């Protein structure tokens, strides 16, 4: 990320769980000052687990670089304090239960009237209109509603994606929308009211199976480690050692694979396999040939052949292998209970120097100083 690109930007985040904290953490990573408003018992994600020195892994991942203050927005005094913060803020972000912010007088329309340059971002489960508008939503529920579980797992066995993918989609979309709104404000001087939802953020990611279903009249279902639209694609056992996963993305790659791995150049132009559409149609036969060839060779021999063909391949790793992966990058982050090592976020600015993440705050760690700073005299 561009270090300190958002320096000078104040974000007030009335947030909990995953989606909104991810959005505000992305902004904090870019240099924004983020004040995290928590209820007296804290963001409930603090209690998801206790695996990181007694702290929640979710909370540690999502809340670096923020200041924490415990507030009760049903209290007149705390509500005045929050309003004083918002009056000086560039961004107000919230993901309370549907309607809760508006009932407290912190709805987007009221705030934007009082502060025209303010960018307000409301995160919800299902969006601001429609029959599900007021329904509570969590990541797993949205994965079910959106049809994602039906295309995940194995045939006849729908599965949840193993991470909170709906929250992640929503949080990254919210951070992107806020950043774009800040950029637009530099040009026109106006703030914005942004509406982001788990359902609609993840719906965008479902467009390929949706299009295949609507226009191809295909009932797209879960395919395990294979791919509903690409072949060959999957995990194959070798004569020894763990399986290898391969992915062939073009017909040219297939011809090279046929020559160097399968040892039969004619298969490259065989009408059953020459195109991806044909290979998908004849997936069982295609996969059967590959499985037999891999089992006939030691794993090292398969890798030599795959390298010669220029075929993309990899290992089917677990978390222990991820932790020891030669490509993994780690950064140290402070927490209220001691430093932890996290996987690097990914994007880097060339020449920016070492990447550092802000410290994860304890509950209400900055409460006293923030109350002094924003108390209305």
Task: Specify the pLDDT at position 349.
Answer: 72
- Give domain status of residue 311, yes or no: yes
- Among residues 291, 315, 339, the one where a domain terminates is 315
Task: Specify the pLDDT at position 346.
Answer: 72
- 136-146 burial, b at 16+ Cβ within 10 Å, e below that, comes to ebebebbbebb
Q: How many domains are there within the chain?
A: 2
| Poorest-pLDDT segment among 97-101, 123-127, 236-240 | 97-101
The token pair at 22 is: 């991810």
CB 334 within 8 A of CB 9: no
| Together in a domain, 266 and 132 | no
Task: Specify the pLDDT at position 135.
Answer: 86
Residue with the bigger pLDDT between 348 and 257: it is 257
CATH number at residue 44: 3.40.50.10540
Strand-pair category, 312-315 with 244-247: antiparallel
- Among residues 290, 315, 340, the one where a domain terminates is 315
| Together in a domain, 308 and 337 | no
- Give domain status of residue 100, yes or no: yes
Catalytic member of 213, 227, 260, 366: 227
- Give domain status of residue 212, yes or no: no
- Among residues 315, 336, 366, the one where a domain terminates is 315
| Together in a domain, 304 and 340 | no
- Give domain status of residue 356, yes or no: yes
| Together in a domain, 173 and 118 | yes
| Together in a domain, 70 and 14 | yes
- Give domain status of residue 137, yes or no: yes
Task: Specify the pLDDT at position 3.
Answer: 63
The token pair at 339 is: 């430093």
Report the pLDDT averaged over residues 127-131.
Answer: 88
| Together in a domain, 130 and 21 | yes
- Give domain status of residue 228, yes or no: no
| Poorest-pLDDT segment among 201-210, 238-247, 338-347 | 338-347
- Give domain status of residue 321, yes or no: no
| Together in a domain, 15 and 132 | yes
| Together in a domain, 177 and 258 | no
227 catalytic per annotation: yes
Report the pLDDT averaged over residues 177-195.
Answer: 96
pLDDT in tens, 296-341: 999 999 999 999 999 999 999 999 999 999 999 998 999 989 999 9
Task: Specify the pLDDT at position 377.
Answer: 56
| Together in a domain, 151 and 71 | yes
| Together in a domain, 57 and 108 | yes
Interatomic CA distance for residues 325 and 327, integer angstroms: 5
Rounded mean pLDDT of the chain? 92
CATH number at residue 295: 3.30.1540.10
Interatomic CA distance for residues 136 and 199, integer angstroms: 12
Q: Which helix (H) or strand (E) holds 315?
A: strand 312-315
Interatomic CA distance for residues 168 and 21, integer angstroms: 10
Report the pLDDT averaged over residues 117-128.
Answer: 94
Task: Specify the pLDDT at position 100.
Answer: 87
Residue with the bigger pLDDT between 291 and 223: it is 291
Give the residue numbers spanning the domain of 245: 233-315
Interatomic CA distance for residues 244 and 256, integer angstroms: 18
- pLDDT score of 19 more than 90: yes
| Together in a domain, 195 and 95 | yes
| Together in a domain, 337 and 306 | no
Residue 219: pLDDT band (50, 70, 90) is confident
Report the pLDDT averaged over residues 39-60.
Answer: 94
- Give domain status of residue 169, yes or no: yes
pLDDT in tens, 162-173: 999 999 999 999
């Amino acid at each position: 990320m561009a270090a300190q690109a958002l320096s000078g930007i104040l974000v007030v985040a009335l947030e909990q769980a995953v989606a909104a904290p991810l959005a505000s953490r992305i902004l904090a990573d870019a240099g924004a000052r983020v004040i995290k408003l928590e209820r007296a018992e804290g963001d409930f994600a603090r209690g998801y687990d206790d695996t990181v020195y007694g702290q929640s892994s979710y909370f540690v991942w999502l809340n670096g670089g923020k200041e924490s203050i415990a507030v009760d927005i049903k209290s007149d005094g705390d509500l005045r304090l929050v309003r004083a913060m918002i009056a000086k803020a560039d961004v107000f972000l919230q993901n309370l239960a549907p309607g809760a912010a508006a009932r407290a007088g912190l709805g987007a329309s009221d705030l934007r009237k009082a502060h025209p340059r303010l960018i307000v971002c409301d995160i919800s489960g299902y969006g601001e209109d429609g029959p599900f508008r007021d329904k509570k939503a969590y990541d797993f529920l949205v994965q079910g509603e959106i049809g994602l579980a039906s295309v995940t797992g194995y045939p006849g066995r729908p599965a949840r994606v193993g991470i909170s993918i709906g929250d992640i989609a929503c949080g990254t979309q919210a951070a992107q929308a806020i950043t774009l709104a800040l950029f637009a404000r530099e040009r026109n001087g106006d703030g914005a009211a942004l509406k982001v939802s788990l359902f609609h953020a993840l719906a965008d990611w479902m467009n390929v199976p949706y299009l295949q279903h609507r226009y191809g009249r295909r009932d797209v279902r879960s395919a395990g480690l294979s791919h509903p639209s690409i072949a060959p694609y999957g995990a194959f056992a070798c004569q020894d050692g763990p399986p290898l996963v391969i992915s062939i993305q073009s017909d040219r790659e297939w011809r090279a694979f046929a020559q160097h791995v399968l040892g039969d150049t004619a298969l490259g132009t065989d009408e059953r396999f020459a195109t991806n559409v044909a290979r998908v149609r004849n997936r069982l036969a295609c996969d059967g040939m590959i499985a037999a060839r891999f089992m006939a060779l030691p794993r090292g021999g398969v890798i030599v052949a795959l390298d010669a063909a220029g075929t993309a391949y990899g290992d089917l790793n677990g978390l222990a292998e991820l932790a020891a992966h030669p490509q993994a990058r780690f950064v140290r982050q402070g927490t209220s209970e001691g430093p932890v090592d996290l996987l690097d976020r990914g994007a880097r600015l060339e020449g920016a120097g070492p990447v550092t993440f802000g410290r994860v705050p304890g509950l209400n760690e900055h409460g006293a100083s923030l109350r002094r700073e924003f108390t209305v005299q």
